[in-house]
Each structure stands twice: as structure tokens, then as C-alpha cells.
């Protein structure tokens, strides 16, 4: 017995002709029958154009240096090479997340602007270039994780003697999709410094919060500008003997000290240790993520495909894609950012363990 409406009429050639005539007159009124597309719209599981992909640092780095020869930071405003997901039409690494590599040469300035997309920086190469965010400056070192929250004025510069390169992560595709993009230039090239260098690390970065003031931005984002590599790496090392997560090993989230939640309203950032000899179990979740290899070597199996990675490579795990990680040789450290904070408040995040533990 077929399950369905009991009174499905027989589609005679005459009825079919009438239907087609009816469908043909609808576009003029900007209407269309839902039943023609319902199965494409309401899929049993997420479908995404984004595909798993890995960008090798050995391919990215020379092209970044080439870009620096050809275009100044001033001309470019932001000298960024975008990491584009080959399955997607819109620019982005996943449907919600943008990734790029930014480079700033000694004595260059990337002028001050602000925008509604939030941004993260994860430092890949260089030493002591700066970013200034809402009047506070931080000198960056390899492995540092920095936040640029929604609508924060920010400029970058380099008073050191070596180029700096970092991974940029923005929620730009998401912000575009909800028609919430705003952007403005600051009236001058650089913004005035209104705080001491690394003021926010001292004020908010030591498990203490000033009890005499309301949370900055009503607690929407972390007040900490720079989460130092040496501190984050030490946290991983301290927990090295723990069981950790079956899917991620020893994983830590960079948190907003006001809430204990993610550092930015739309993006959660994590640092994880995949220990020597460790091979995690496979799972999948709706949230998508961009991974960056902070230390070591290894591989990830994503949707059944193996991606071998080494230091400074970047790869994506699209929505609802089985994935598992393994180190090769020594301990490996992965930085990642994901869109979980966008999904969670609406009950849209789901996670599933792979029925066989790992992919074949």
C-alpha cells in the first residue's frame, strides 16, 4: 500500500495540459508552486556546496610574498589572499565563514576601518607587527589568537623588521546572508591609542574582572584582544594526560571571560592537541569549521577523503561532514574557528557519532 493522499486523481493528458498552462502563467505574478521544489528545499539532511579542502602553506606562502611585491597594503587596504572553497559560488571557506591570509610588511599600515563582520586573526609568521582594536594595540607573535569584534575600529601595522602573515577568519558570508553588512572608514589612517599596549590582557585575561564597570559591549564579545600562544599552548600541555574528547583530543575553547562562552558572538575558536599516536573517532555536526595547523603534522579524514597536513596548512570541514584527526610523528596542535554560536541559540546545532567509530 502506498502511503499518501487517498484521493490522488489520475493525471489524464487533459489534466496535465491544464496544469502546465497554470504553471506557465504563474511567473508573471512572481509565484511558483511549492510542490515543484519542496523535495529540493526540505532535504532529509543538510546539503552544502562547500567541500572539504586543504590549502598547503607551501602553495600559499610564495603567492603571499608575490602579492606583497605587486600590491602595497595601502593600495589594497587589506592585502589578503582569500582561501576559496572550490565547491561554492560565493566567496568563502564555508557557507558562513570566510578565511584569508593577510600579510603586512615592515613600515606598512593597513588603514583604520570597521565593519559588522567579526574577525579572528591567528598569527602564522613574523614577530611584533601590531593590530590596534578600539584604541588598544597588541604586538603579535606566532600562534597568538586575536579578536576583532563586530564594529570595532581596527588598523594593522608593522614597526618591526620582518613581514608578518596571519590567518584571517570572518563571519562575512553569514553577515551577507542576513543582509547585515555595514562598513565605514575611520576619518584618519590610524586611530589614536587610548589604552596601554596589551591593556586588555592585564585587565581581563587573568581570571579577574573589574567589578566596578559594566561588561564592554554588554558582554556580547570577549574584551581580551590577544590570547597568547604561550599561555594557550601551556593549557594544552597541562591537560595532555587527560582523556580529552573522543573526537577532538585535548581541546580548549578560547572564551569570553564575561560569559564563559565563545570569544565572539558568531564564531567559536579552539585550540586542540592531537597527541603523538592519537587518532580520534569520527563525528559530524551542523557547524562548519576552518582548521589551521599551529604545530606538527598529521592528517584528517573528511567525508572519507584523507588530507595530510603540516604546520601552517589550512583546511575546512563543511557542515554535516564526517571527520576525524590523527597526528603523525610528534604531538600536533590545531587551531580552528567555527560557526557554532550562530546555530546553537536557534536549536540548529546537531552532532552525531560515526556508527563505526571511524570512517573506512
Using CB under 6 A as the binding rule, whether residue 336 contacts ligand GTQ is answered as no
Using CB under 6 A as the binding rule, whether residue 171 contacts ligand GTQ is answered as no
Using CB under 6 A as the binding rule, whether residue 222 contacts ligand GTQ is answered as no
Residues 302-321 that bind ligand GTQ (CB under 6 A): none
CB 309, min distance to ligand GTQ, A: 21
Using CB under 6 A as the binding rule, whether residue 102 contacts ligand GTQ is answered as yes
Q: Name the grid cell of 311.
A: 604546520
Using CB under 6 A as the binding rule, whether residue 78 contacts ligand GTQ is answered as yes
Using CB under 6 A as the binding rule, whether residue 60 contacts ligand GTQ is answered as no
Which of 52, 100, 157, 244 binds ligand GTQ (CB under 6 A)? It is: 100
Please count the residues of this chain forming the interface with ligand GTQ, following the rule CB under 6 A: 9
Question: How many Å apart are CA 181 and CA 157, to the nearest integer?
Answer: 25
Using CB under 6 A as the binding rule, whether residue 73 contacts ligand GTQ is answered as no
| Cα end-to-end distance, the chain, whole Å | 37
Query: Between residues 102 and 300, which has the closer beta carbon with respect to ligand GTQ?
Result: 102
Query: Between residues 97 and 332, which has the closer beta carbon with respect to ligand GTQ?
Result: 97
Query: Between residues 116 and 359, which has the closer beta carbon with respect to ligand GTQ?
Result: 116
Using CB under 6 A as the binding rule, whether residue 170 contacts ligand GTQ is answered as yes
Using CB under 6 A as the binding rule, whether residue 90 contacts ligand GTQ is answered as no
Question: How many Å apart are CA 109 and CA 119, to the nearest integer?
Answer: 18
Question: How many Å apart are CA 306 and CA 112, to the nearest integer?
Answer: 41
Q: Name the grid cell of 25.
A: 502563467
Using CB under 6 A as the binding rule, whether residue 168 contacts ligand GTQ is answered as yes
Which of 80, 273, 333, 342 binds ligand GTQ (CB under 6 A)? It is: 80
Where on the chain is the footprint of ligand GTQ (CB under 6 A)?
78, 80, 100, 102, 115, 119, 154, 168, 170
Amino acid at each position: 500500500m502506498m502511503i499518501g493522499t487517498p484521493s490522488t486523481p489520475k493525471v489524464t493528458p487533459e489534466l496535465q495540459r491544464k496544469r502546465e498552462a497554470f504553471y506557465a502563467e504563474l511567473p508573471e505574478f512572481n509565484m511558483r508552486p511549492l510542490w515543484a521544489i519542496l523535495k529540493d528545499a526540505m532535504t532529509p539532511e543538510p546539503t552544502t556546496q562547500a567541500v572539504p579542502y586543504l590549502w598547503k602553506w607551501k602553495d600559499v606562502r610564495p603567492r603571499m610574498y608575490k602579492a606583497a611585491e605587486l600590491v602595497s597594503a595601502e593600495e589594497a587596504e587589506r592585502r589578503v589572499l582569500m582561501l576559496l572553497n572550490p565547491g561554492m559560488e560565493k566567496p568563502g571557506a564555508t557557507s558562513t565563514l570566510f578565511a584569508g591570509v593577510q600579510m603586512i610588511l615592515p613600515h606598512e599600515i593597513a588603514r583604520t576601518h570597521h565593519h559588522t563582520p567579526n574577525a579572528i586573526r591567528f598569527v602564522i609568521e613574523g614577530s611584533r607587527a601590531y593590530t590596534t582594536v578600539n584604541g588598544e594595540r597588541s604586538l603579535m607573535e606566532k600562534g597568538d589568537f586575536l579578536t576583532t569584534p563586530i564594529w570595532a575600529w581596527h588598523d594593522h601595522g608593522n614597526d618591526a623588521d620582518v613581514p608578518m602573515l596571519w590567518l584571517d577568519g570572518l563571519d562575512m558570508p553569514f553577515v551577507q546572508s542576513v543582509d547585515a553588512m555595514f562598513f565605514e572608514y575611520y576619518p584618519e589612517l590610524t586611530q589614536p591609542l587610548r589604552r596601554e599596549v596589551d591593556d586588555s590582557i592585564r585587565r581581563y585575561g587573568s581570571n579577574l574582572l573589574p567589578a566596578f564597570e559594566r561588561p564592554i559591549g554588554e558582554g556580547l564579545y570577549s574584551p581580551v584582544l590577544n590570547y597568547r600562544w604561550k599561555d594557550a599552548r601551556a593549557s594544552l600541555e597541562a591537560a595532555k594526560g587527560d582523556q580529552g574528547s573522543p573526537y577532538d583530543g585535548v581541546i580548549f575553547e578560547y572564551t569570553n571571560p564575561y560569559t564563559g562562552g565563545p570569544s565572539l558572538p558568531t564564531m567559536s575558536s579552539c585550540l586542540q592537541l592531537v597527541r603523538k599516536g592519537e587518532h580520534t573517532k569520527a563525528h559530524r555536526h551542523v557547524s562548519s569549521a576552518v582548521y589551521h595547523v599551529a604545530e606538527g603534522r598529521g592528517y584528517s579524514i573528511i567525508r572519507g577523503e584523507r588530507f595530510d597536513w603540516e604546520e601552517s596548512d589550512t583546511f575546512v570541514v563543511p557542515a554535516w561532514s564526517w571527520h576525524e584527526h590523527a597526528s603523525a610523528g610528534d604531538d600536533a596542535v590545531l587551531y580552528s574557528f567555527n560557526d557554532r554560536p550562530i546555530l546553537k541559540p536557534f536549536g540548529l546545532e546537531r552532532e552525531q557519532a560515526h556508527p563505526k567509530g571511524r570512517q573506512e
